[in-house]
Amino acid sequence: MENGSETSPQSVESCHFCYGPVNSDDNHCAKCSYPLKGSDDEKAAFVLRKNADQINLPKFKNKSENALGTLYFLAGFFMLCAIIVFFQKEESADLLAILLPYLILTILFLILGSYAKQKPLACFISGLCLYIIIEVLVVAEAHFSTNFIDIIFNLIVIGFLVNGIRASLEIERIKKENDLD
């Protein structure tokens, strides 16, 4: 090699995007995956996408926070259900059997909420599946009539969780591509 680099047998250049070191025969930057040998269009598209990621990252984080808040909200909601049921059925012989599902759901959503910081995607998916199963069971048993407010409530909860799943996928992709962590 002509340029007399002592540390590497291959010539070392720097990436045009992240200025990290790249070998002259690499197709992509190992650090940021910039298409070193790509066409001008590919390079421009890459820069546009990276800029969009920078702008969108706070939005994704916000959506992920909202989904995490939804998990805690559901824990609180089922706790509230347990309290209401407790006072309604205080006299009932099998009070504990009636209360138990609400208490279990409270604990499950608390656990999901507390793990969602480390594993947001897994926790949001689990929370969404759990919530849908509960709703299907409730509708099937027809304990509550499915009224307008129930439907709106369900749509809001499911919407926050689905947005959280999508946002955490995007955050993971951005972190991976930018070598963050």
User: Going residue by residue from 76 to 115, which x/- string records binding to Zn ion, judged by CB under 5 A?
Assistant: ----------------------------------------
* Closer of 32 and 71 to Zn ion (Cβ): 32
Closest distance to Zn ion from the beta carbon of 86 (Å): 59
Question: For residues 25-54, which are near Zn ion according to CB under 5 A?
Answer: 29, 31-32, 34
- Provide the minimum distance between the beta carbon of 76 and Zn ion in the complex, in angstroms, as a whole number: 45
Q: Which residue type is seen at 60?
A: F
20 binds Zn ion (CB under 5 A): yes
Q: Which member of 12, 18, 98, 110 binds Zn ion (CB under 5 A)?
A: 18
Place of tokens 């006299």: 91
Torsion of CA 121, 127, 132, 133, to 10 degrees: 120
Contact criterion met (CB below 8 Å) for 109 and 74: yes
> Does residue 17 bind Zn ion (CB under 5 A)?
yes
Q: Helix or strand or coil: residue 68?
A: helix
